[in-house]
Amino acid sequence: MTGSVVTIQSESMRVIVIPELGAQITSLMDSDGHEYLSPGLWPRPDNLPLSASFNDGGLGGSDDCIPAVAADIYPNEPYKGQLIPDHGELWQRPWRVIKSSSKELIVSIDGVFLPYSLVRRMIVNGPILDIEYQLINNGEYDLPIVWASHPMLVSTSEMTIDFAHSGYLKVEACNMGFEQDARIPYPIVKILEQDVDLRSWKSLPEGFFLKAFSPLPAGSPVRLNYPEWGKTLEITTTADQPVQLGIWLNRSGFPLDHPVEHLSIEPTFGSADALTRAMVDNSNLTLRTKSDELWHLSYRVLDLLNRE
């Protein structure tokens, strides 16, 4: 792995980014030394082609996915038929550094076949990492896209997941009995004839993985509770557009050749990983010609017993 490493930090948090390798966030650590981002199987290799599988990138850290998460074919003219790479076209390519200081990093990148620019401003303030996005349509046509934040987060045996939802999740992928687009109850679901609490890591069966989606009102926080550490990681998205929540739970079920344990909480414009599937219910973002879209994503570390 090459590429300059940029560190931004406060007295409460340290964040490491590698702009030349997809502006991957490789570390999000609190002042007590707890690391919230999974290191993955290996560091991301240099010069990955657009055709690379996301597995080739090591399955660690945090990335942004545009114009979709799943490999697909772009559906709209005049770009119809263009291939959308696995996990989008941003994570394999170098980003430009616009500004870098001890607490702030601003990076940007342009689309490959779509005429957009994405600017990402990251600033650390105490126990909070605030990420501001600006997505700009530089072209003459409206652009339907899916955006997703894609952090690979550390799991612990006692961790729990809290978010403002009950009812059902829509399945994207699962290796234990649920088909794509199936609606499953949340938080308690039956797997292998057992009641499983999807909020509790230790309740998940060994060898299990699930990717699912839930409607999530913008501004509703998701909290990952780590009792072993006495910490909560709170994830909040603020946007003018409806935000969905992608949930990836992997208890050594994926990948088959190198099973790992991690999870992902993925705020997203889209109810599916593939753009064409998200467009079925209009959950994708349509970026109007010569316009931009702004939204915010924040990570805040709280003391588990004294959180506000």
Establish if 1 belongs to a structural domain.
no
Which tokens sit at 166? 């009950």
> CATH number for the domain including 291?
2.70.98.10
pLDDT attached to residue 195: 96
**What backbone torsions phi and psi does residue 105 show, to the nearest 5 degrees?**
-140, 125
CA angle 124, 130, 133 (to 5 degrees): 130
pLDDT attached to residue 2: 56
Helix (H), strand (E) at residue 275: helix 275-278
pLDDT attached to residue 307: 52
pTM of the model: 0.95
CA angle 181, 283, 265 (to 5 degrees): 70
CA 164 to chain centre: 18
Question: By C-alpha distance, which of 132, 24, 141 is closest to 88?
Answer: 24
Would you mind telling me the total number of residues written for the chain in this entry? 308
Question: By C-alpha distance, which of 269, 281, 45, 26 is closest to 154?
Answer: 26
> Could you read off the pLDDT of 32-41 as tens digits, one per residue?
999 999 999 9
With 0-12 / 13-18 / 19 or more C-beta atoms within 10 angstroms meaning exposed / middle / buried, residue 100 is middle
Q: Which residues pair with 163 in a beta bridge?
A: 222
DSSP annotation of 127 reads: T
List, in order, residues 6 or more apart from 194 with CB less than 8 Å away: 205
Establish if 43 belongs to a structural domain.
yes
**Structural domain for 91, as ranges:** 6-303
pLDDT attached to residue 304: 86
Which tokens sit at 197? 């609490």
List the chain pLDDT tens, one digit each, 308 residues. 456 999 999 999 999 999 999 999 999 999 999 999 999 999 999 989 999 999 999 999 999 999 999 999 999 999 999 999 999 999 999 999 999 999 999 999 999 999 999 999 999 999 999 999 999 999 999 999 999 999 999 999 999 999 877 789 999 999 998 999 999 999 999 998 899 999 999 999 999 999 999 988 877 899 999 999 999 999 999 999 999 999 999 999 999 888 999 999 999 999 999 999 999 999 999 999 999 999 999 999 999 876 54
Q: Could you give the 3-state DSSP secondary structure of residue 47?
A: coil
Establish if 267 belongs to a structural domain.
yes
What is the residue-wise DSSP string for 59-126?
Answer: S-SEEEE-S-SS-EE--STTSTTPEEPTT-SSTTS--EEEEE-SSEEEEEEE-SSS-EEEEEEEEEET
The C-alpha R_g of the chain, in whole angstroms, comes to 18
Total tally of structural domains belonging to the chain: 1
> Could you read off the pLDDT of 217-272 as tens digits, one per residue?
877 899 999 999 999 999 999 999 999 999 999 999 999 888 999 999 999 999 99
Which tokens sit at 263? 């999870």
